[in-house]
């Protein structure tokens, strides 16, 4: 605390000196921000390292991260496509084909977003996931709620949920186990304990213990011993932990905005400074986009009437997530968590007040990751700012709008200043080494 106060004081002096002459501005930081505004701005920068996740003991293991990077590109375990390429939807192959989906299918390019599904608002895997795909850069800052409705309470559990999700990989944990055994056994065994069971080898005399395709609920799964089931489920959790270790490295810092807050007065232009003043003031954005990753990690109703191709218009957001979250065998208090006592799920109950709430999205590199909202229904930041300027939609949204979502009465110049500010949040691109398909020869 002391450090931050001191920093603000020093910057205040530095900026006050930079704008000599205008005596009436003498009190204003950089000639534009009140002390109160500058204190709020100080809460938004710098971006430190992502928070620790004690439920994943491999999260800082470089070998696990290197393995996770390979797995990000692995398609071998993907189940049959339910919707094929129709020549215009960006589909991943013909309906019924297997081995076509990887994480990188929907998380591509320097910002790891969906660059393929057409139209680009929702994501096409084995089927249409009725959501816009998310950037993987800086995803490890969301804590603990992952996904737009907080369906998961750790990055590692998110990283495996798609395997058995029909619209994602439409696969099974036994398909995954065989793919890991066939393609990555040595690397897996070097990181995790116990080693994968040699009966996963299809040529093993005991191969029948591990069917080719089975998951909880299927007759093949129910026929397995509990020990063999647990062996496969633990493997699945470990795969999630390796993927999460990789995702934790995908960090982008040092945006022009950060350099500005650190004292470089001309790191952002005057329009962006005016936009920043609106962001922490009259436009009220900072009420929810409130931390260095620009999300308060909480759930709000911004009055969005969901619409668009392949979108489910009556999703209830946080409300719909609770049953799955509490019942998820991979949640933070479950047996596969490396710290079941984090208390993340304390007080989480399904309640009507959660209808229509979504997790506040982070806004780092926001200019690089259109379209916007969980529905991908806005193509530009101008459209997003118009939406907030009107106080959200008038009707058609679920639940009740947050009190702070009201018409803002911004002028056209103010709206463009706000967009200019949002464009200063793009930090350094992550190293190409971290984006490389390390599975490829």
Q: Which of 283, 354, 355, 435 binds ligand HEC (CB under 6 A)?
A: 283
Q: Is 366 in the site for ligand HEC (CB under 6 A)?
A: yes
Q: How far is the CB of 67 from ligand HEC (least distance, A)?
A: 13
Q: Which of 69, 159, 172, 423 binds ligand HEC (CB under 6 A)?
A: 159
Reference 406, options 390, 428, 425; nearest CA is: 390
Please give the Cα distance from 237 to 328 (Å, whole number).
12
The footprint of ligand HEC on residues 59-118 (CB under 6 A) is 101, 103, 105-107
Reference 250, options 69, 68, 63, 430; nearest CA is: 430
- Helices (H), ranges, 133-200: 155-161, 173-191
Query: In the chain, what is the greatest distance between 2 CA atoms, to the nearest angstrom?
Result: 87
Q: How far is the CB of 297 from ligand HEC (least distance, A)?
A: 10
Reference 308, options 374, 361, 358; nearest CA is: 374
Under a CB-based contact definition with an 8 Å cutoff, are residues 124 and 93 in contact? no
Q: 49 CB contacts (<8 Å, ≥6 apart)?
A: 251
Please give the Cα distance from 44 to 280 (Å, whole number).
10
Helix (H, G, I), strand (E, B) or coil at 246: helix
Which two structure tokens, joined as six digits, stand for 362? 């982070």
Q: What is the DSSP letter of 124?
A: E
Q: How far is the CB of 23 from ligand HEC (least distance, A)?
A: 32
Q: Where are the beta strands (DSSP E) in 29-118?
A: none
Q: How far is the CB of 203 from ligand HEC (least distance, A)?
A: 28
Q: Is 423 in the site for ligand HEC (CB under 6 A)?
A: no
Q: How far is the CB of 400 from ligand HEC (least distance, A)?
A: 11
Q: Which of 178, 248, 365, 374 binds ligand HEC (CB under 6 A)?
A: 374
Q: Is 53 in the site for ligand HEC (CB under 6 A)?
A: no
Q: Is 355 in the site for ligand HEC (CB under 6 A)?
A: no
Which two structure tokens, joined as six digits, stand for 339? 């710290």
The footprint of ligand HEC on residues 295-314 (CB under 6 A) is 300, 302, 304
Angle at 171 between CA 168 and CA 175, to 5 degrees: 145
Nearer to ligand HEC, 134 or 245 (CB): 134
Q: Which of 405, 425, 430, 435 binds ligand HEC (CB under 6 A)?
A: 405
Interface region with ligand HEC, contact rule CB under 6 A, candidates 146-154, 188-196, 266-274, 432-440:
146-154
Q: Is 289 in the site for ligand HEC (CB under 6 A)?
A: yes
The verdict on whether omega for the bond into residue 144 sits within 30 degrees of 0, i.e. cis, is yes
Interface region with ligand HEC, contact rule CB under 6 A, candidates 250-258, 284-292, 307-315, 336-344:
284-292
Interface region with ligand HEC, contact rule CB under 6 A, candidates 41-49, 55-63, 147-155, 250-258:
147-155
Nearer to ligand HEC, 231 or 374 (CB): 374
β partners of residue 300: 358
Which two structure tokens, joined as six digits, stand for 137? 């850069």
Given the rule CB under 6 A, which residues bind ligand HEC?
Answer: 101, 103, 105-107, 123, 125, 129, 131, 133-134, 139, 142, 146-148, 155, 158-159, 162, 168, 243, 247, 283-285, 287-289, 300, 302, 304, 358, 360-361, 363, 366, 369, 372-374, 384-385, 388, 402, 404-405, 418
């Amino acid at each position: 605390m002391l450090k931050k106060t001191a920093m603000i004081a020093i910057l205040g002096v530095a900026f006050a000196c930079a704008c000599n002459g205008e005596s009436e501005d003498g009190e204003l930081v950089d000639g534009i921000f009140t002390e109160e505004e500058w204190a709020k701005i100080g809460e938004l920068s710098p971006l430190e390292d992502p928070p620790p996740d004690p439920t994943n003991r491999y999260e800082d293991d470089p070998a696990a991260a290197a393995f996770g990077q390979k797995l990000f590109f692995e398609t071998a375990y993907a189940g049959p496509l339910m919707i094929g390429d129709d020549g215009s939807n960006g589909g991943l192959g013909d309906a019924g084909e297997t081995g076509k989906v990887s994480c990188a299918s929907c998380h591509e390019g320097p910002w790891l977003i969906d660059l393929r599904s057409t139209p680009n608002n929702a994501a096409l895997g084995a089927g249409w996931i009725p959501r816009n795909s998310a950037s993987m850069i800086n995803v490890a800052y969301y804590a603990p709620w992952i996904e737009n409705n907080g369906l998961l309470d750790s990055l590692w559990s998110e990283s495996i949920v798609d395997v058995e999700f029909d619209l994602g990989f439409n696969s099974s944990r036994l398909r995954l186990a065989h793919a890991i055994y066939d393609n990555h056994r040595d690397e897996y065994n070097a990181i995790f304990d116990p080693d994968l069971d040699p009966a996963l080898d299809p040529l093993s005399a005991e191969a029948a213990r591990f069917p080719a395709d089975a998951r909880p609920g299927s007759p093949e799964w129910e026929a397995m011993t509990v020990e063999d089931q647990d062996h496969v489920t633990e493997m699945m959790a470990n795969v999630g932990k390796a993927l999460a270790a990789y995702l934790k490295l995908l960090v982008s810092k040092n945006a022009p905005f950060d350099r500005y807050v650190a004292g470089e007065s001309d790191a952002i232009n005057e329009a962006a400074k005016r936009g920043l003043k609106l962001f922490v003031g009259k436009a009220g954005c900072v009420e929810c986009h409130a931390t260095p990753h620009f999300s308060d990690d909480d759930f709000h109703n911004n009055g969005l009437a969901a619409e668009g191709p392949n979108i489910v218009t009556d999703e209830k957001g946080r409300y719909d997530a609770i049953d799955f979250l509490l019942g998820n065998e991979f949640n933070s208090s479950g047996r596969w968590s490396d710290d079941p006592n984090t208390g993340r799920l304390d007080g989480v109950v399904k309640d009507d007040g959660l209808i229509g709430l979504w997790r506040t999205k982070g806004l780092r590199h926001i200019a690089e990751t259109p379209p916007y909202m969980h529905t991908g229904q806005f193509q530009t930041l101008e459209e997003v700012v118009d939406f907030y300027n009107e106080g959200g939609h008038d009707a058609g949204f679920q639940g009740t709008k947050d009190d702070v979502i009201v018409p803002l009465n911004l002028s056209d110049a103010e709206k463009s200043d706000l967009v200019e500010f949002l464009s200063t949040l793009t930090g350094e691109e992550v190293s190409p080494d971290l984006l490389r398909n390390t599975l490829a020869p």
